[in-house]
A and B are shown apart, each in its own frame.
Chain A
Amino acid sequence: MIVAKQKDLEVIVGMLQGYERILVLGCGTCTAICLTGGDREVGILASSLRLADKVSGKNRLLKEHTVERQCEWEFLDEINDQVKEVDAILSLGCGVGVQAISERFPDIPVLPGLDTLFMGMPQEESVWVERCSGCGNCILDKTAGICPVTRCTKGLLNGPCGGTNNGKCEVDPEKDCAWTLIYQRLEKQGKLELFDEYHPPRNFQAVVRPGRFTIK
């Protein structure tokens, strides 16, 4: 899933200056799961903005809505009517969502209420961790299901480096050394021979930006 965090309220208030009718639009998929962009967060943000408006003597229209997924145009059809009534959309989706809405409604400014962080998973309550970089060249079969491109601070394909220290990384002692984890899991799986395999330098052309994928 895509993990994102909400921008500071001051930043959002600044972004909305000059707009009188605003649609706060949530996304019911990834950002709802990471508790930054679902129905509940839309309600909290819209309510906060209304309070800020009242304190400063403004009286703007703040509409609230959450679609199932912002990144697919089919799900955006349900806001066709609401978009006609507003002069800006504040998206609580990831960067893809913001751009999908903007492409679907090019006449209306679409503003990002979130900072999109990474692709990851929940590790414990309120904690999400990055697991995939979308490098386009997956080697998880060789690394016991642990991605060194993402989880090794240096992104090494052949590790560990000399900086591994009792299973922690020299760059950030709080972080686990991905290559130590890979070694330990390969050992558990009885596949340590994979550890000896040399991985040639990564093919950075596997995903040319901007990426495009067509099913043949």
Chain B
Amino acid sequence: MTSENQFEPEIIAFSCHYCAYAAADLAGIMRLQYPTNIKLIKLPCSGTVDILHILNAFEQGADGVFVAGCLRGGCHFVEGNNRAERRIERAKDILDKVGLGKDRLEMFFMSSSEGPRFAEVAREMTDRIRKLGPSPIRGV
């Protein structure tokens, strides 16, 4: 919480080295403002993200998680982003069943040249998680 008592969510962003991570880098180079709630974790490909990584993030108190991979058809490893998308679907189902809600998790697709898009996604996720409130397991 900030001094104004506004909830500041912790959001983990699993980002593909070839696109989203580079897009985040570009956003920085372009001096674009986006919320500091996003904690980036670089992956060699979004397809390497496992459901377990996502669940562990929530177990450790993350309020939201997003995975950002290459544009459809543009994966450096051909199928990685599609695989990640399928895993996200399953992880969302698990989050719903355990009572956290699927909206705390999202998958985004972007290219490395989309710095503004990364900043927009960061703002969108931060707004969404702010509305949802803190994770019910935070501090448990």
Contact = CB atoms under 8 A, between A and B. Distances in A.
Interface of A: 8-10, 40, 43-44, 47-48, 50-52, 54-57, 59
A interface: dominant SS: helix
A52 B56 contact: no
A46 B99 CA distance: 15
Contact of A40 (B50, B59, B98, B137): B50
Contact of B99 (A40, A43, A44, A56): A56
Nearest to B137: A54
Given A47-B52, A47-B56, A54 B136 contact: yes
A51 B52 contact: no
Report the contact-size class of chain B (Cβ under 8 Å from the partner): 10 to 19
20 contacts: A8-B97, A9-B94, A43-B52, A44-B51, A44-B52, A44-B94, A47-B52, A48-B55, A50-B59, A51-B58, A51-B94, A51-B137, A52-B98, A52-B99, A54-B136, A54-B140, A55-B98, A55-B100, A55-B137, A59-B140
Contact of B136 (A8, A9, A40, A55): A55
Interface of B: 50-52, 55-56, 58-59, 94-95, 97-100, 136-137, 140
A-B pairs with lowest CB-CB distance, top 10: A54-B137, A55-B99, A47-B55, A52-B98, A51-B98, A9-B97, A54-B140, A43-B52, A55-B136, A48-B94
A57 to B, nearest CB: 7
Contacts of A43: 52
Contacts of B97: 8-10, 48, 52
Nearest to A126: B86
Contacts of B55: 44, 47-48, 51
A10 B97 CA distance: 7
A48 B54 CA distance: 11
A47 B59 contact: yes
Nearest to B136: A55
B12 to A, nearest CB: 15
Contacts of B100: 51, 55
A50 B95 CA distance: 12
Contacts of B58: 51
Contacts of B98: 9, 48, 51-52, 55
A40 B138 CA distance: 25
Contacts of B59: 47, 50-51, 54
A52 B58 CA distance: 11
A9 B99 CA distance: 11
Q: Among A40, A47, A50, which residue has the most Cβ atoms of chain B within 10 A?
A: A47
Contacts of A44: 51-52, 55, 94
A57 B140 contact: yes
Contacts of B56: 47
Given A9-B97, A55-B98, A57-B140, 11 more contacts: A8-B97, A40-B52, A47-B59, A48-B55, A51-B55, A51-B94, A51-B95, A51-B99, A52-B99, A54-B59, A55-B136
